Amino acid sequence: MSGRPKIFDDGEVLSKAAEIFWRQGYEATSTEDLLAAMGIGKGSFYLAFKGGKKELYEKALAQHSDQAIAQFRRELDAAVDPVDYIREFFRRVAQSTKTRHQKGCIFGNAVAELSNVENPMMKRAATHLQGLEALFLDALLRGKQKGTLHSKLPPPLLARLLLNNWNGLGITRRIYPDNEALSELIETQLKILG
Contacting positions for DNA (CB under 7 A): 1-8, 30-32, 40-44, 46-48, 50, 52-53
Q: How near is the Cβ of 157 to its own copies at its closest, in Å?
A: 6
The nearer residue to DNA, 6 or 98, going by C-beta atoms, is 6
Residues 6+ apart with CB under 8 A from 185: 169, 172
The nearer residue to its own copies, 36 or 47, going by C-beta atoms, is 36
Contact call for residue 134 and its own copies (CB under 8 A): no
The angle formed by the CA atoms of residues 187, 96 and 131, to the nearest 5 degrees, is: 70
What 8-state DSSP symbol labels residue 176? -
The nearer residue to DNA, 52 or 194, going by C-beta atoms, is 52
Contact call for residue 31 and its own copies (CB under 8 A): no
Cα-Cα end-to-end distance for the chain = 61
Q: How near is the Cβ of 5 to its own copies at its closest, in Å?
A: 35
The nearer residue to DNA, 46 or 176, going by C-beta atoms, is 46
**Quick one: residue 182, left, alpha or beta (phi over 0 = left, psi -120 to 50 = alpha)?**
alpha
